[in-house]
Structure 1
C-alpha cells in the first residue's frame, strides 16, 4: 500500500475537523431571566432549574480554498518562478487588507480568462493553442 504524503494527511485532518464543525451547529446561550422570590414562599427553598435559551449564531464561513475543487497541474520551473514573482509583487503592492493573493489565485484568474476566450481557441498543440489565445486577447 503506498504511503500517504504529509500534505494529504493534514488535508484529511482539516477536512474532518471542518466537517465535524459543520455537523454541530454553534449556538449561544442566553440565561433565563431571574425571578425574584418573596420571602416565605414555597419555592424560596427549592432550586429552580433554568433552561438556557439557545439562539442560532451565524455558521462559520469556510476559507475559500476549502470551497474549491482540487486539481493538480504540472508546470515548468520557469512558469513556477514567474508565478511566484508575480504573486509576491502583487502582495507587496496591496494597499488594503483582504484576500491573500496566492499562486492558485493567479492560476484561477488565468483559467477564467481562458474560459472567456475559449471560442477563439484553435490548434492541436500547446504552442498553437497559446498563439491563438494570445491573438484572442490582443484583438
Structure 2
C-alpha cells in the first residue's frame, strides 16, 4: 500500500467516522496536501511569501493560537489548497477556510515542528497522528 493509499484511507475514515465538518476538513486537507506538487511545503511557502512567516514560526514552536479565516486566505490564497480541501471535504471554500483557521496551527505543529516540511516517508505517519485528533 502506497503513501497516497494510506492517506486516502485515513482521510476517508475521518470523514465517515465523524460527521463533524472539522474532521472532514482535516481529512480533506490531508488528501489535498498529498496531491499538491509541493505538499506541506506549499503551506509553509504560502504563509512565508505572504508576510506571515511569524505565524508559521509560532505554530511550528507549538504556540497553537488560531488564525483568522482572512489570515488563512492570505497565507494559502493562490496555492489551490483551500479549494482542494473544500472539494475533498464536501464543504464550501468559505467553510473550509473558516475551519482551516483552527486546523492550520495543528497542521504546522505536526508537519513542520522546526519550520521545515517532513520527508514524504514521514508524512503518512504524521497525517495519521493529526487525523486521530479529529476522530
- TM normalised by structure 1 equals 0.27
Bigger relative contact order (CA 8 A; separation at least 6): 2
Decide which structure has greater strand share: 1
* Structure with the greater alpha carbon radius of gyration: 1
